Structure 1
Amino acid sequence: MSTIKGVEKMSQPNPVNSLASVAASRPQHVDSKHVAGTGLEARNIHAWFGDKHVIDDVTLDFYPGTVTALIGPSGCGKSTFIRILNRMHEFIPTAAMAGEVLLEGTDIYKSGTDVTKIRLGIGMVFQKPNPFPSMTIKENVLSGLKLAQLKVANQSELLESCLIRAGLWNEVKDRLDEYGGALSGGQQQRLCIARSLAVSPQVLLMDEPCSALDPGSTLRIEETIRELSASMTIVIVTHNMQQAARVSDRTGFFLSDGGPGRLIECSTTSEIFSNPKDKRTEDYVTGRFG
């Protein structure tokens, strides 16, 4: 009987090996010679909501042309952290932060910075699709141009280009004057991506962009992420380990452990899922907790 049990145990798949295989099966775009002052850099980030310390001393680089996934249990500060990366956390009255966020070597928190310009250059896609309900598909995509007071020579060309890059053009090219809210959930999320692309961001932040979507829509968003990563820096928060393995070049693991959220480790996605340096990371990616 013990022999049979042993055979059964040996036949069970190793979650780490399974995720590592997924990560290893896609091309990696990590630049091992990353140069400081390029891409997006977070330095010694602390965050508070009122008196509550929610992020403790996080330093992390986001390389140009790569996708970085942030993983970890709920409540460990991942979503707060990416909002700090484009100052979106400032919409919460009790929020405060310390540290530096550098875009191409310039601190986005320095005095006199145009915050609207920063948020256009570091775009964000949220957990739930949020197209402007009173605007058409066309108006949604081009809405950022008005906010930024940008003029383009050919809006129709830009509209088509953004919808193609977001993987939506073929589905809506004959519906551009319909309201964005009439689209399916997955289409609305891709519309929001197209809206961000219209102002040519250097960085795209994505906070669980697929959590409210069906599997088919999720796979289409993941394809879009991979296609966009060649031309920009992408940061994605996800609770889906398979998704992190499928789309990201680098993965950072956050953990609060009863206190403020901390970055436990960050490495190539293949390394995180095949040979994590910290036991807590291994326990999380194998499903032992979280």
Structure 2
Amino acid sequence: MTQMEELTTVASPPATRLVGLETRDLSAWFGDHKVLDRVSLTMAPGEVTALIGPSGCGKSTYLRILNRMHEMVKTAKLAGQVLLDGGDVYAPGRRPADVRARVGMVFQRPNPFPAMSIYDNVASGLKLAGIKVAKARRDELVETSLIKAGLWTEVRSRLRSPGGALSGGQQQRLCIARSLAVEPDVLLMDEPCSALDPTSTRRVEETIAELRGRLTIVIVTHNMQQAARVSQKCAFFLASHDTPGKVVEFGPTQQVFEDPRDARTADYVHGRFG
């Protein structure tokens, strides 16, 4: 059976309802420095939304706000709402760990536990989320997560080998599998290919394509070609030295790239600045 057949057979779209994510008038600060200003976006269920824009315009901060990582910085402040399936993730009494189990994160650089086996790296996602399952169910989740991440065929004969022995691209897909093990509703990806070679980047993009329709994905990328390839919606963020980051344009990816409504968007996507 080929890897594509495995993905089609084992990782077929779930029967459960897909969940979207929305922000309303979201503003953010680090101390007295305002970094985001009234960002309102709707990330549709089962779609890939790309966040593009120059460095320092607040894209990664916005991404971290979506699963409550922003508040881990002592000076961080927030206004507005983040709605997951209509419920505010910052509502009083809502546990950050519960939010992060439903809204997973893949970081810019692969961060597997290097001495831990491939199997245990994936299973650690369950432990970190406080999810206890029987061994048979854990085995199933590890296998299914690796298949969804496009890594199963490459590692199934060496699941007990250290995760740190994998290549950079394989490590990033291992981190994706770890996030998928808790069966999140949303997967956030912060420049997941910036440290990878072109071949590994292609494999991660193929993984994103396979996951589309199974969960909601939000990806930050500086690669305009990647944003055009993997996303269905695109948001262009912009900031200046005296104004915080805000969304200049948001819409279907093809429209943003081929027929942008704002001249600043056209200049950015065509490489005239940034």
Q: Under a length normalisation based on structure 2, what TM-score does the superposition of the two structures give?
A: 0.91
Amino acid at match of 1:272: V
Q: In structure 1, what is the equivalent of residue 46 of structure 2? A: 65
The answer on 1:262 being equivalent to 2:246 is: yes
Q: In structure 1, what is the equivalent of residue 189 of structure 2? A: 206
The answer on 1:54 being equivalent to 2:38 is: no
Q: Secondary structure at the match of 1:164?
A: helix
Deviation at 1:282, TM superposition (A): 0.3
Q: Distance in 2 between matches of 1:196 and 1:38?
A: 16
Partner deviation per Cα, 1:94-134 (whole Å, 9 max, x = no partner): 11111100001100001000110100100000000001123
Kindly report which structure 2 residues correspond to 1:99-118, keeping only aligned pairs within 5 A, or say none. Answer: 99-118=80-99
The answer on 1:173 being equivalent to 2:156 is: yes
Q: Secondary structure at the match of 1:154?
A: helix
Q: Is the 8 A contact 1:254 1:264 kept in 2?
A: yes
Partner deviation per Cα, 1:198-244 (whole Å, 9 max, x = no partner): 00000000000000000000000000001101110000000000000
Q: CA RMSD in A?
A: 1.2
Q: Distance in 2 between matches of 1:71 and 1:225?
A: 17
Partner deviation per Cα, 1:249-275 (whole Å, 9 max, x = no partner): 000000003310000010000000111
Q: In structure 1, what is the equivalent of residue 230 of structure 2? A: 247
Superposed structure 1 runs of 4+ greater than 6 Å apart: none
Q: Distance in 2 between matches of 1:137 and 1:57?
A: 41
Q: Secondary structure at the match of 2:110?
A: coil
Q: Distance in 2 between matches of 1:224 and 1:57?
A: 32
Q: Which moved more, 1:127-136 or 1:236-245?
A: 127-136
Amino acid at match of 1:87: R
Residues 193, 38 of structure 1: CA spacing in aligned structure 2 closer, same or farther, 3 A cutoff?
A: closer
Amino acid at match of 1:239: H
Partner deviation per Cα, 1:113-167 (whole Å, 9 max, x = no partner): 0110100100000000001123111011011222323314422222111101100
Q: In structure 2, what is the equivalent of residue 94 of structure 1? A: 75
Q: Under a length normalisation based on structure 1, what TM-score does the superposition of the two structures give?
A: 0.86
Q: Is the 8 A contact 1:38 1:105 kept in 2?
A: no
Count of residue pairs the alignment pairs up? 254
Q: Secondary structure at the match of 2:158?
A: coil
Amino acid at match of 2:263: K
Partner deviation per Cα, 1:42-72 (whole Å, 9 max, x = no partner): 1111011111000001000000110000000
The answer on 1:288 being equivalent to 2:269 is: no
The answer on 1:41 being equivalent to 2:22 is: yes
Amino acid at match of 1:279: A
Q: Distance in 2 between matches of 1:111 and 1:58?
A: 22
Q: Which moved more, 1:237-246 or 1:139-148?
A: 139-148
Q: Which moved more, 1:156-165 or 1:119-128?
A: 156-165
Amino acid at match of 1:116: A
Q: Distance in 1 between matches of 2:103 and 2:140?
A: 23
Q: In structure 2, what is the equivalent of residue 192 of structure 1? A: 175
Amino acid at match of 2:56: G
Deviation at 1:38, TM superposition (A): 5.2
Q: Pick one of 132, 145, 149 that aligns with 1:150.
A: 132
Gaps spanning 5+ residues in structure 1: where? 1-36
Percent identity over paired residues: 63
Larger Rg belongs to: 1
Q: Distance in 1 between matches of 2:140 and 2:125?
A: 16
Q: Distance in 2 between matches of 1:176 and 1:167?
A: 14
Q: Which moved more, 1:86-95 or 1:39-48?
A: 86-95
